[in-house]
Structures are given as structure tokens and as C-alpha cells.
Structure 1
Amino acid sequence: MTTSLNLESDGTAVLLPVRAQPKSSRNQIEGIHAGRLKVCVTQAPEKGKANKALLKVLQNGLQLKRSQIELYKGETAGLKVFRITGMSPEELQKRIDTVLEASG
């Protein structure tokens, strides 16, 4: 399993590619698959519930303020992109590495 994410910066924020895994047994950041952060949530993908749960898992796991993270692309898709402000791609990568080391 590779630990490199395709983190891009749009100048004001970092774009974090995510593979959502709804209806999972636990809410957790699971790992990196095909250049995307795999995030599992227990919610079903209906009425935006899974998206809300994803936001919460990412926010808590990566120690972000609610105002720092938003769903940027892929509202109804399994492959999503979140926009994270107030940090560099390197800082975000460090936080992701820390979460994955703790859960691994």
C-alpha cells in the first residue's frame, strides 16, 4: 500500500482526494488506495448523511476546524474531493501519516 496522496493546492487551499466507503462498520480513516484517502463511515449515502459523517471523520482525524474543510467535488459520487484551508500540502500529509500510523 502506498502512502503518497495526490495532494494538490489551488493557491488558497489543499485539495484532498477521498474514496468514501459508506455503510461501513466503523467511522475511520482507513488508509491510502490509488492516490486517494480511504474514509469509512457507518452512514448510508442518502440525503447527504454520509457526506456529513465523512466531514466529521476527516475533521476529527486530521484535527481541523469545521471552517477549514468543505466538500469540493463529488457530492453524490464515491470519489470525492475535499478542500482544506489554512495549511500546506506538507502539513496535511504529516497529519494523515500520523493518523495512519496510529491506526495501523
Structure 2
Amino acid sequence: MWTQAGDDLLLSVRLTPGSAKEEIGGGWTDAHGAQWLAARVRAVPEKGRANAALIALLSKRLDWPKGAILLESGDTNRLKRLRIIGGGDALARLTALIEHWVDKT
């Protein structure tokens, strides 16, 4: 679901665009056993709108600058990998938030 990469944090997210509300919570396991954080955004998956909404939502919930959250992969896929630049410095705080979200069902 998340790993540390140097000073950054890599986060795996399964995004549901076009949702009735924006939220982060719960987890999802793929066919290979990999864990993904579940997220929902109102934005539709057109022209990067859902990806931008996901980054904005994470930025707000993590209290992290939007410019420091990058989409590494999954541009047109529900399964996204995001890089939180400098997240390693705040690893304990960020991972506590992520673990709290995973525990939500």
C-alpha cells in the first residue's frame, strides 16, 4: 500500500471516479495480493480531472502541498501509484493517517 523510497513515500491507490462523495478509506487487494488504499472522487475520468481531484484530496487530508504529490503511474487506470515528495521526513505522521484510512470500512 505504501513504501518509503529514499526521502519520498510511494502510495498505491485504487480510485473510483464519478462517486457521489469524495473520501479516502478502506483497502482493496488485487489478484496478486497487493494492497491498495481505496479513494473516491466526484470528478469524472476525463482529461485527467479524476487524477487532479485525487491529488487535491490527498493534499488536503495529508496537509501536504499539491505540488509535492505526483502521479507516477496509472494515468488512465483505476490503480494509481503516487509519489509524496519529502514524505519520508514525515513518515510517522503520514503512515498513521494512511493506516487510519485503511482501517475505515
Which residue of structure 2 lines up, in the alignment, with residue 22 of structure 1? 17
Percent of aligned pairs with the same residue?
A: 33
Which residue of structure 2 lines up, in the alignment, with residue 77 of structure 1? 77
Which residue of structure 2 lines up, in the alignment, with residue 10 of structure 1? 5
Q: From the superposition, tell whether residues 94 and 18 of structure 1 become closer, same or farther in structure 2 (CA, over 3 Å).
A: same
Q: Structure 1 runs of 4+ off > 4 angstroms?
A: 98-101
Deviates more, 1:63-72 or 1:85-94: 85-94
What TM-score, normalized by structure 1, do the two folds share? 0.81
Q: Name the SS for the 1:43 alignment partner.
A: coil
Residue-pair matches, total: 98
RMSD (Å), alpha carbons: 1.9
> Could you tell me whether the CA contact under 8 Å between 2:12 and 2:79 is conserved in 1?
yes
Which residue of structure 1 lines up, in the alignment, with residue 38 of structure 2? 38
How far has the Cα of 1:93 moved from its partner? 1.3
Which residue of structure 1 lines up, in the alignment, with residue 32 of structure 2? none
Give the partner amino acid of 1:29: I
How far has the Cα of 1:70 moved from its partner? 0.9
Instruction: Structure 1: state its 5+ residue gaps.
Output: 1-5
Instruction: Structure 2: state its 5+ residue gaps.
Output: 30-34
C-alpha offsets along residues 38-89 of structure 1, whole Å, 9 cap, x if unaligned?
A: 1100111011110111111111111111232111111111100000022234
